[in-house]
Chains A and B, each alone.
Chain A
Amino acid sequence: MEIVGKLQNQFMEFMRSLYREGFLDYQFLQLQKLQDESNPDFVVEVVSLFFEDSEKLLNNLAMALQQQVVDYKQVDAHVHQFKGSSSSIGAQRVKNACVAFKNFCEEKNLEGCVQCLQHAKHEYFLVKNKLETLFRLEQQILAAGGTVPVLS
């Protein structure tokens, strides 16, 4: 019981920090609300899909920017997708990075784009790390026999 309680506190603290530091926003909360008995792993599924998608997008972006003649339309399309998916799950910082990226894209500023890609990648890996930690904590709580607390 104690362990469960401790783990739960840890979990809550961690979540709050994520919100505070802007890694996640209100949308993530909505996602958590959608998880119910009929859909118990909803958040994990969505986030896993996000990870898969994002990795592909980042690769595509890297390749697109390495071309001799950069197709900015293509780059813009990828960024748009990335922005869409990150805002869907509430990955706020990633989303912001994408917004900046889009601007540079419109200006066809290659250097700016490359920088933004780096930044977006960095943010993505950060939030990925955080989310993975979050899920590990969840698993631990469940393994210890407790229930995952829900932030209000």
Chain B
Amino acid sequence: MGSLLRMNRLLSSIVDSCNCIIDPQLPADDLLMKYQYISDFFIALAYFSIPVELIYFVKKSAVFPYRWVLVQFGAFIVLCGATHLINLWTFNMHTRNVAIVMTTAKVLTALVSCITALMLVHIIPDLLSVKTRELFLKKKAAQLDREMGIIRTQEETGRHVRMLTHEIRSTLDRHTILKTTLVELGRTLALEECALWMPTRTGVELQLSYTLRHQNPVGLTVPIQLPVINQVFSTNRAVQISPNSPVAKLRPTGKYMPGEVVAVRVPLLHLSNFQINDWPELSTKRYALMVLMLPSDSARQWHVHELELVEVVADQVAVALSHAAILEESMRARDLLMEQNVALDLARREAEMAVRARNDFLAVMNHEMRTPMHAIIALSSLLQETDLTPEQRLMVETILKSSNLLATLINDVLDLSRLEDGSLQLDIVTFNLHALFGEVLNLIKPIASVKKLFVTLSLSADLPEYVIGDEQRLMQILINVVGNAVKFSKEGSVSISAFVAKSDSLRDPRAPEFFAVASENHFYLRVQVKDTGIGINPQDIPNLFSKFTQSQALASTNSGGTGLGLAISKRFVNLMEGHIWIESEGLGKGSTAIFIIKLDIPGRSNESKLPFVAKLPANHMQMTFQGLKVLVMDDNGVSRMVTKGLLTHLGCDVTTVGSRDECLRVVTQEHKVVFMDVSMPGIDCYEVAVLIHERFGKRHGRPLIVALTGNTDRVTKENCMRVGMDGVILKPVSVDKMRSVLSELLEHGVVLES
């Protein structure tokens, strides 16, 4: 434009100088020139202000890597502006300097603009790429944000699961577990409702067992074979189900519209499922159904991580429930065991009480029944010796026979009880075996001759004369066996033979486990009693040695007797480490009773232990009791001292105690007698006696207990007998009295005092 104007001006000046043709254009040129002037001015202004703005804004921004480009660009614009500015002076006539300046400016502008143009070729692609990178980074940032979100939610889920698991597993109570599960799930997932359907006992229905919001779930049931339920049970994932399905209809009123519903199966492990063989595969699978409902008004959807959470929780619940089931089972078993223990304890105590009652009874019988019995027998036999009419004699004989029978009965029963108790011990003495057989023969001969039975005795040559064993009880066995033989034979003979058992004859074919080994110190005595009596039915043979049983044939003969004889004999034989049995070929063919017992032979190592005990006359009394250890219990010092002096005078080794406790502390097995003052008021001395009995038992060698009392009333005596004291003495005691008491105690083990 400027050049055009210049050309125009040049032309006009030429025209002017020519002064010829182009006249009419001249007045319009002024206006054009004015517009040009103004435009140039504004252009220059703009050109100057742009760099200023650029600088200002670049200074404001922190990052701008292309400063030098800016400088270039700025220079370019400034120069352009300068050019346009200088143009202003060239509209009119101008001097040569102005022209020079103008030219310089133009040249510079041309230079800079070319350089700038060249530079921009490099820079503009860079600037463009910056933009794309920025876009790229933005996208990436958005993606990372998304991923962060996911990770965070996953971590949240994990935390919830851990917390839920912890809550669930912190209890072993089934109800608490399930309730806690629902509560925590409800809280974690902000559920509207959460419910658990458990299978009923029959297994055909699911019953609503627990709900979150409802406090008392009514017994709603749904059949288990619904398609939706099967769908949920067939997979271990949480399944989204329709809110209209029956399991989701938890509210009775229908106007409530539930939100999204999800259901998951909870495996129920029963103890019967715990078969080690198929541990990983649970054959019978029962499931419970857990239904979770989102609030309807929030328009929330079930997210994947929430479903995963639900699945994990369901598994944990299953494990927790199985633990609870195991615990329940073990507690039940323990309770059962405790009950059984209690019952057993009770039974044991009852048994003990019964035994104690029986023993007490026996103790009473022992004394109270024997005493009158003996009185009756003694007096009846004395009566027999006097002058009597035949009728009276008959009566007395009957009395005697009956009382003898009664005495035997009492003895038998007492013996058997003691045998069964195990409290019976054999009285081992040295005795004459041959003489024993002779005695038995003498006893049985009268009865046998009345029945016209022949009785023969044959002792083998190698049978020792003196043996060591329980003489009395062997006699009892012999009398019993021979007596039976005589009793059950109406005619014929009874033959008794005794010999030393050899190894082959030791064997009873019916008792193959019985092995008897003879040695230097002992031997086995075999006795056979053969009779020609009524015999025994082979079927009855096993019952022969049972208590109180008698076969029909025997009972009909009215033989009397308790039926205890053989039982007792068997017990004695067993105590003597032997064996007894009866052989019979049948009814009417007689029978043979055989027994083998172990006896020791004297004259070997036994001799020193068992001194020969001669039969002493009945009224033999010991005169001194040298070193006999006794204990005196009396709370009265004077009385104690007197008793002590008395016993010391008789040679005893006396210990005194003043109280019950001291007595129990001090008493030992070594004290042979305990003298107890029972007139101490307020102190139950009888209890001391009981305790001493308990401590030392009723065996031989326990301290004998004698009561000293100032009063002989019935009550005191009864009390003493009741606790099993061995005697009662009236105070004050004279030396002679004490002497005779000690004597009797040591000989008989009891003081019978009226």
B partners with A: yes
**Chain A residues proximal to chain B, CB less than 8 Å:** 26-27, 30-31, 33-34, 36, 38-39, 42, 45-46, 49-50, 53, 76-77, 80-81, 83-90
Q: Is B682 a contact partner of A46 (Cβ separation < 8 A)? A: no
Q: In the assembled complex, which residues on chain A have CB atoms less than 8 Å from the CB atom of B503?
A: none
Q: Say whether B679 contacts A84, CB under 8 Å.
A: yes
Instruction: Specify which of A34, A80, A85 is in contact with B649 (CB 8 Å cutoff).
Output: A34
Question: Is B649 a contact partner of A46 (Cβ separation < 8 A)?
Answer: no
Most chain B CB atoms below 10 A, which of A30, A45, A49, A87:
A30
Residues from chain B with Cβ under 8 Å of A76 in the complex = 681
Binds A, one of B475-483, B529-537, B635-643: B635-643
**Distance (whole angstroms) from the CB of B623 to the closest CB of chain A:** 15
* A89 contacts across to B, CB distance below 8 A: 638, 642
Name the residue on A nearest B645 (C-beta).
A34
**In the bound complex, do residue A39 and residue B637 qualify as a contact, i.e. CB atoms below 8 Å apart?**
no
Contact B637 A49 (CB under 8 A): yes
Q: Which residues of A contact B608 (CB under 8 A)?
A: none
Sorted nearest first, the 6 A-B pairs with minimum C-beta distance are: A85-B638, A88-B639, A84-B636, A34-B645, A88-B642, A34-B649
Task: Report whether A50 and B638 are in contact in the complex, using a CB–CB cutoff of 8 Å.
Answer: yes
With the chains together, A50 CA to B735 CA distance in Å? 20
User: Are A87 and B710 in contact (CB-based, < 8 A)?
Assistant: yes
Bound complex: CA of A103 vs CA of B710, how far in Å? 16
Q: With A87-B710, A87-B732 given, is the CB distance from A49 to B649 under 8 Å?
A: no
Q: Which residues of A contact B171 (CB under 8 A)?
A: none
Contacting residue for A84 out of B638, B646, B648, CB 8 A: B638
Q: Can you list 13 residue pairs at the A/B interface with Cβ under 8 Å?
A: A30-B646, A30-B734, A31-B642, A34-B648, A46-B641, A53-B638, A77-B681, A80-B681, A81-B635, A84-B639, A88-B641, A88-B732, A89-B642
- In the complex, how many angstroms separate the beta carbon of B118 from the nearest chain A beta carbon? 137
B731 lies within 8 A of chain A by Cβ:
yes
Cβ of A22 to closest chain B Cβ, rounded Å: 16
> Contact at A33–B732, with CB atoms within 8 Å?
no
Whether B645 lies near A31 (C-beta < 8 A) is yes
> CA separation between A80 and B680, bound complex, in Å?
8
Cα-based distance from A38 to B645 in the complex (angstroms):
10
Cβ distance B85 to chain A, nearest Cβ, rounded Å: 141
- List which B68-112 residues lie within 8 A (CB) of chain A: none
A81→B636 contact, CB < 8 A: yes
- Encode B670-692 as 1/0 by CB contact (under 8 A) with A: 00000000010110000000000
| Chain B, Cβ-Cβ closest to A38 | B648
Q: Which residue of B649, B681, B682, B731 contacts A39 across the interface (Cβ within 8 Å)? A: B649
Indicate if the CB atoms of A85 and B637 lie closer than 8 Å: yes
Q: How far is the CB of B90 from chain A (nearest CB, A)?
A: 151
Known A-B contacts A81-B636, A84-B638; the reply to A42 vs B710 at CB < 8 A is no
Contact between A88 and B636 (Cβ–Cβ < 8 Å)?
Answer: yes
Contacts of A46 in B (CB 8 A): 638, 641-642, 645
Q: Which residue of A lies closest to B646 (CB)?
A: A34
Chain A residues near B636: list those with CB within 8 A: 53, 81, 84-85, 88
Interface centre among B638, B639, B649, B735 (most CB of A within 10 A): B638
- Given the interface pairs A34-B646, A34-B649, the reply to whether A49 lies near B735 with Cβ below 8 Å is no
* Residues of chain B contacted by A26 (CB below 8 angstroms): 732, 734
Per the bound structure, the CA–CA distance linking A34 and B732 in Å amounts to 14
Q: Could you tell me the distance between the alpha carbons of A115 and B450 in the complex, rounded to whole angstroms? A: 79
Which residue of chain B lies nearest to A47 when distances are taken between CB atoms in the complex? Answer: B638
Contact A42-B645, Cβ < 8 Å, known A53-B638, A77-B682, A84-B639: yes
> Could you list 16 further interchain pairs (A-B, Cβ under 8 angstroms) beyond the known A42-B645, A87-B710?
A26-B732, A26-B734, A31-B645, A33-B649, A34-B735, A49-B641, A53-B636, A85-B636, A85-B637, A86-B638, A87-B732, A88-B638, A88-B639, A88-B642, A88-B731, A90-B732
Measured between beta carbons, the chain A residues less than 8 angstroms from B734 are 26, 30
Minimal Cβ-Cβ distance residue in A for B677: A84
Q: Report which of A53, A77, A83, A90 forms a contact with B637, defined as CB distance below 8 A.
A: A53
Q: In residues 627-663 of chain B, which contact A (Cβ within 8 Å)?
A: 635-639, 641-642, 645-646, 648-649
**Do residues A39 and B639 form an inter-chain contact, with CB atoms below 8 A?**
no
User: Which residues on B sit within 8 Å (CB–CB) of A38?
Assistant: 648
How far apart are A135's CB and chain B's nearest CB, in angstroms? 16
Interchain CA distance A12-B173 in the complex, whole Å: 96
Q: Which of A46, A86, A87, A88 has the most CB of B within 10 A?
A: A88
Complex CA–CA separation, A88 to B634 (angstroms): 12
- Minimum CB–CB distance from B733 to chain A (whole Å) comes to 8
List chain A residues, Cβ under 8 A from B731: 87-88
Q: How far is the CA of A77 from the CA of B679 in the complex (A)?
A: 11
Asked if residues A30 and B735 are in contact (CB atoms below 8 Å), the reply is yes
Task: Please determine whether A85 and B648 come into contact, CB atoms closer than 8 angstroms.
Answer: no
Taking CB atoms, residues of chain B closer than 8 Å to A77 are 681-682
Chain A residue at minimal CB-CB distance from B643: A88
Chain A neighbourhood of B641, CB < 8 A: 45-46, 49, 88
A55: shortest Cβ distance to chain B, in Å?
12
B635 to chain A: closest residue by CB: A81
Residues of B contacting A42 in the complex (Cβ-Cβ under 8 angstroms): 645
A91 (CB) vs chain B CBs: closest residue: B638
Chain A residues with CB under 8 Å of B681's CB are 76-77, 80
Chain A residue with Cβ nearest B680: A80
How far is B639's CA from A81's CA once the two chains are assembled, in angstroms?
Answer: 9
8 Å CB interface, B706-753 against A: 710, 731-732, 734-735
Q: Is the CB of A39 within 8 A of B638?
A: no
Return B570 CB to nearest CB of chain A, in Å: 53
- A52 to B105 CA separation, bound complex (whole angstroms): 154
Interchain CB contact under 8 A, A39 and B710? no
CA distance A45 to B682 in the complex (A): 28
Query: Which of B679, B710, B732, B735 has the most chain A CB atoms closer than 10 A to its own CB?
Result: B732
CB distance from B445 to the nearest CB of A (A): 54
Q: How far is the CB of A149 from chain B (nearest CB, A)?
A: 19
Q: A39-B649, A42-B645, A80-B681 are in contact. Are A30 and B732 (CB under 8 A)?
A: yes
A24 to chain B, nearest CB (A): 12
Please state if B649 and A27 are interface contacts (CB–CB under 8 Å). Answer: no
Q: How far is the CA of A38 from the CA of B626 in the complex (A)?
A: 14
Could you say which residues of chain A place their CB within 8 Å of the CB of B646? 30, 34
Bound Cα distance from A80 to B401, whole angstroms: 51
> What is the CA–CA distance of A30 and B648 in the complex, to the nearest angstrom?
13
CB distance from B48 to the nearest CB of A (A): 133
The smallest beta-carbon distance between A84 and chain B, in angstroms, is 4
In the complex, A33→B737 CA distance in Å?
13
Q: Which residues of B contact A27 (CB under 8 A)?
A: 642, 732
- In the assembled complex, the Cα of A85 lies from the Cα of B646 at a distance in Å of 15
In the bound complex, residues from chain A placing their C-beta under 8 Å from that of B637 are 49, 53, 85
Q: How far is the CA of A49 from the CA of B643 in the complex (A)?
A: 14
Whether A39 contacts B642 by the Cβ 8 Å rule is no
A43 to chain B, nearest CB (A): 9
Shortest Cβ distance from A86 into B: residue = B638
Give A9 Cβ to nearest chain B Cβ, in Å.
27
- Residues of B near A87 (CB, < 8 A) are 639, 710, 731-732
A120-B140 Cα distance, complex, nearest whole Å:
123
**Cβ of A30: which chain B residues have Cβ within 8 Å of it?**
646, 732, 734-735
Smallest Cβ-Cβ distance to B738: which chain A residue: A30
With CB as the reference atom, state the residue of chain B lying closest to A83.
Answer: B710
Q: Are B682 and A49 in contact (CB under 8 A)?
A: no
Complex CA distance for A77 and B683, rounded to whole angstroms: 11
CA distance A36 to B641 in the complex (A): 15
Cα distance, A84 to B681, chains bound together (Å): 11
Q: Please measure, in the bound complex, the distance between the C-alpha atom of A76 and the C-alpha atom of B681, giving whole angstroms.
A: 9
A36 touches B642 (CB 8 A): no
Residues on the A chain within 8 Å of B679, using CB: 80, 84
Report the Cα distance A46→B735, complex, angstroms. Answer: 16
Contact between B732 and A36 (Cβ–Cβ < 8 Å)? no
Q: Which residues of chain B come closer than 8 Å to A36, judged between CB atoms?
A: 649
The contact string, 1 if C-beta is below 8 Å from chain A, for chain B 545-584, is 0000000000000000000000000000000000000000
